Amino acid sequence: MNSLAGPIYADSAFDLIRSGYLVIWEGYASIDTCVNNEDAHALGPYIFLCDKYTYEYPYHYGTVYLMAKPFEYDGRTIYRSYLCLDGKDECFEGSIYHR
């Protein structure tokens, strides 16, 4: 799965759910940084790779949500993906891969 290029603004997981995104994984994680294609976070059966335009330092230790929504583009299904931090109202765009 890969995210589409270009950010969509999302304050929280709730904002994304209202826009049709689904929670594909929920669990505890330690997320110190989310920096452009440098940070890969192992989350359950997934790996989340932060988007190339992301430079965030949330220092979060708690519940996180991996969220995704499929979009059709040129006959292909492409996923836009986010990592959301519970209690901080922050979501970061990136790509989700199966381990």
Give the pLDDT of the chain (99 residues) as one tens digit per residue. 444 444 455 678 998 999 999 999 999 999 998 888 778 899 999 999 988 777 788 889 999 999 999 999 999 998 899 999 998 888 998 999 999
Domain ranges of the chain: 14-89
State residue 38's pLDDT score.
76
Two tokens at 27?
């669990």
- Whole-angstrom distance, CA of residue 16 vs CA of residue 45: 22
pTM of the model: 0.82
State residue 8's pLDDT score.
52
Question: φ, ψ for residue 19 (rounded to 5)?
Answer: -95, 10
What are the start-end ranges of the H helices in 13-73? 13-18
State residue 67's pLDDT score.
96
